[in-house]
Structure 1
Amino acid sequence: MRAVALLALAAATPATAQTIKPLAEARLRYEHAEQDGLPLDADAVTMRVRAGVEASTGGLSALVEAQGNLAIVGDYLDGLHGVQTRPLVADPQNVAIYRAQLRYARAGHSVTLGRQRIALDDERFVGNIPFRQNAQTFDAVRGEFSPMKGVRADFSYVWSVRTLWGIDGNGARQRAISGDTVLANLAWASPIGTLTGFGYWIDQDEAAVQGFRLSSRTLGVRLAGTRSISGVKLAYAASYARQVDHHRNPNDYQADYWTVDAALDLNGPRIGGGYEVFGAGDGRALTSFQTPLAANFKFNGWAEKFTIKPADGLRDLYAGAGWGWKAVGPLRAVTVSATWHRFESDRLIRHYGDEIDLLAQARIGRTTAAIRYADYRADRFATDTRKLWLQLDWTI
């Protein structure tokens, strides 16, 4: 990759660099999954390591970062190898260049060229998928500009999406998906919250990936803000978007999306909830509202039953509660939470199932430890599934 070679040369030239910053992080995770209808459970112990260097001078920086994922215990379906006798754990073994980018930043403006992370707003439509071991990056040029106070524009042209399937990706799970994708955000910090207009022209130009049917044009608007009232912090967000087919997509469809969300932080206790709707077309596969570039693990339940939205769309009613402490003994940033989801179809209003997600996490020094659990109880979609994660994250 020519860009990687140029970036490596820039990073290795100390005469032009005022600072050289090492990059290093590691994650050890155990994931257990039980899924009705499969004869065996999945047990995955994976170790993900990333290492690299960033060199900078003035507003110019060059960054190269490699990653590797090792399956220490590989009793799971990684999505690429073997037959489906165990549940899917989407963390195949991998060694690859994770990021390789040049960036220039000055006075509120920046341009980034190369393999990079792109996470827009809450990652509902475009994200890095940070939970999965291999994550997702973009070969792109991205410009971020602030033409006036309170206004920010963010534009990207993406020619390749580097997927979480890694270097062995193939078939419908390619290691990279090419295309001419354009991502555009224009945000204004209004008195009631950040108001963002967005447009995403997603070109999934690989026939093996759903026969081009994930190519779409999405236009929408989002409002997100916070308020403090007598020591209580209220966070709120609402969004609406419309999606239609784009470029080589053989489907002719249009579908709407909307969501409302609110949360109260009571200086320890936290409660919240929301409602999210992915509209359906006429019930054909992939004519409902889709989010192929999103950080999907964050939304619609950790059991990951709705990464691709069903043909009849999706309605997700959810509510959660938790508690946070700055410190408990030697532990820092301690959090416990529980979230309940009720899933229905948007078309014909059928009950898909319910899910409970539980989380406990804390930090000790540079290490964060987390325990997660997801329990999906199926009604008219998929099958009962239970998942458990034990995870340690360390960063330099």
Structure 2
Amino acid sequence: MRAASLKHTRGRVRSRGGRTLRRPAFLPFAFAASFAFLIPPASGAFEIGEAVAGGETALGFRYRLETVSQDGIDEDALASTARARLTWNSAKSGSLSFGVETDYSLILGIEDFNSTTNGKTAYPVVADPDGFDLNQAFLKLEENDFTVTVGRQRINHGTQRFMGGVAYRNNEQTYDGVRIQSAAGALNLDYAYVHNINRIFGPDDGAQPGDWYGNSHALRASMETAPGHTLAGYAYLWDLENDNGPANANSTYGLEYVGAFDPLTITAAVSNQSDYGDNPVSYDAMHYLIQGDIRLEGVSITVAHEVVGSDDGAAQFRFPAATLHKFQGWTDKFLIAPVTGVRDTWFSVTGKVGGATVTGVFHDFRADSGGADYGQELGLSITYPVRDNLSLLFKISSYSADEFATDTTKAWLMFDWRW
């Protein structure tokens, strides 16, 4: 187990344009505090004593044992890690509230894995670096159907295909900026200005940067056009300036439809993406999804086809802020698609067995450009609620390579306690 230190707060020295910059670790607090002076009195005066006295604390502890066997790497990975989380949210006073959340990711004994920061490159990657991190620090204004959140915060849009928290990893991805949400009638608007993405690879830089900074914008607007039918439009402009950020800088515009035809739900989405900001590659690529979910008594079945497009083999559609582990297989072979893109045809079956939730999933991966047969993947997940505040997860996934990557098997055993 490694000791935490104050350096694990993302206040690191950066180099940009020949100048050395330091982004203070307390920036989310300063950003949130300064915003308080801009808020006019609304439904009652803010009393900090009242807000603090009515605050609530939550504790969480998660332990995970993860193994990776990957052809082409002689050593198998075995990672014994844990995450301790402390969350405190004030009560609402007037229209205002605030909150803080800290995470401590630690290694318990076994460190036979490449965390991306520990230098153990002879092992496969398990992206759970150790260290202390400030996960959230925000000030929130809520007035009727209007909410403004300023500071470091969790943002999950829709299914998290374009913007999410990657909560499966120990160091959750959160965002520094301003989020404005409005729910007026059937129309829901969700806009965020993001000046920094606190990535899962932090708090320190390693093989991957712990942060991506820039001037980014995320907008999602959704409307229930009829009972059970929702249409959403979205725009993501990721201006990522440091390290490998420019290669992932892009602008995406798209539409999503979700319709309920009991017991079937249909999801369809289409998006267009092109280079943005300082991306050195000029490209244009598409993303498509068609998915059907049918829920029968005790069983849910999903069948889907997703295309992560390619610009004629020159560049691929990318998802720099997505919860990537959730999509295109749990072995994480397609976190970034090959330049020839990915066509993923998959299905899953979920049901209850003796109190446990069991999911089996199959993926067939092919190229969007060039016709290559990448490979197939099988996965199994079992979740069991031991008690109200304790759950157990076992998950295994195996990728069989054909014309892309190498055979890989991953397995997880995880306990999650919450108080």
Q: Is the pair's TM-score, using the shorter chain for normalization, greater than 0.5? A: yes
Aligned residue type for 2:106: L
Distance in 1 (CA, whole Å) between partners of 2:204 and 2:150 is 25
Partner secondary structure for residue 346 of structure 2: strand
Q: CA deviation at 1:146?
A: 2.1
Partner secondary structure for residue 307 of structure 1: coil
Residue 356 of structure 1 corresponds to which residue in structure 2?
Answer: 378
Residue 387 of structure 1 corresponds to which residue in structure 2?
Answer: 410
Residue 133 of structure 1 corresponds to which residue in structure 2?
Answer: 170
Residue 368 of structure 2 corresponds to which residue in structure 1?
Answer: 346
Equivalent residues of 1:27, 1:47 under 8 A apart: yes
Listed as ranges, the matches of 1:218-237 within 5 Å are: 218-228=252-262, 233-237=263-267
Give the 3 Å change call, closer, same or farther, for CA 85–234 of structure 1 in structure 2: same
Equivalent residues of 2:302, 2:348 under 8 A apart: yes
- Superposed CA offset, 1:134-163 (max 9, x none): 01000010000123x110111100000001
Distance in 2 (CA, whole Å) between partners of 1:304 and 1:3 is 31
Listed as ranges, the matches of 1:288-303 within 5 Å are: 288-303=316-331
Aligned residue type for 2:383: Q
Partner secondary structure for residue 349 of structure 1: coil
Residue 302 of structure 2 corresponds to which residue in structure 1?
Answer: 272
Residue 74 of structure 1 corresponds to which residue in structure 2?
Answer: 111
Q: CA deviation at 1:3?
A: 3.8
Partner secondary structure for residue 214 of structure 2: strand
Residues 1:4 and 2:34 aligned together: no
Partner secondary structure for residue 297 of structure 1: helix
Q: CA deviation at 1:17?
A: 4.2
Residue 43 of structure 1 corresponds to which residue in structure 2?
Answer: 78
- Superposed CA offset, 1:22-57 (max 9, x none): 021111000011001111100001110110311122
Give the 3 Å change call, closer, same or farther, for CA 26–336 of structure 1 in structure 2: same
- Superposed CA offset, 1:56-113 (max 9, x none): 2243111011110111121101112224221100001020101001111122210000
Distance in 1 (CA, whole Å) between partners of 2:82 and 2:52 is 32
Residue 166 of structure 1 corresponds to which residue in structure 2?
Answer: 202
Give the 3 Å change call, closer, same or farther, for CA 5–201 of structure 1 in structure 2: closer
Unaligned residue ranges in structure 1 (runs of 5+) = none
Distance in 2 (CA, whole Å) between partners of 1:241 and 1:251 is 19
Partner secondary structure for residue 213 of structure 1: helix
Which 10-residue stretch deviates more, 217-226 or 347-356? 217-226
Unaligned residue ranges in structure 2 (runs of 5+) = 1-25, 37-45
Residue 310 of structure 1 corresponds to which residue in structure 2?
Answer: 338
Equivalent residues of 1:95, 1:166 under 8 A apart: no
Distance in 1 (CA, whole Å) between partners of 2:256 and 2:233 is 6
- Higher strand residue share: 1
Distance in 2 (CA, whole Å) between partners of 1:123 and 1:15 is 35
Q: Once superposed, what is the RMSD of the aligned Cα atoms?
A: 2.0
Length-normalised TM-score, structure 2:
0.87
Residue 115 of structure 1 corresponds to which residue in structure 2?
Answer: 152
Return the match for 1:27 from 49, 58, 62. Answer: 62
Distance in 2 (CA, whole Å) between partners of 1:163 and 1:382 is 25
Return the match for 1:367 from 377, 384, 390. Answer: 390
- Superposed CA offset, 1:187-215 (max 9, x none): 11111511001100011111x216x1111
Number of aligned positions between the proteins: 380
Distance in 1 (CA, whole Å) between partners of 2:120 and 2:53 is 52
Equivalent residues of 2:114, 2:124 under 8 A apart: yes
Distance in 2 (CA, whole Å) between partners of 1:137 and 1:88 is 21
Partner secondary structure for residue 90 of structure 2: strand
Equivalent residues of 2:31, 2:151 under 8 A apart: no
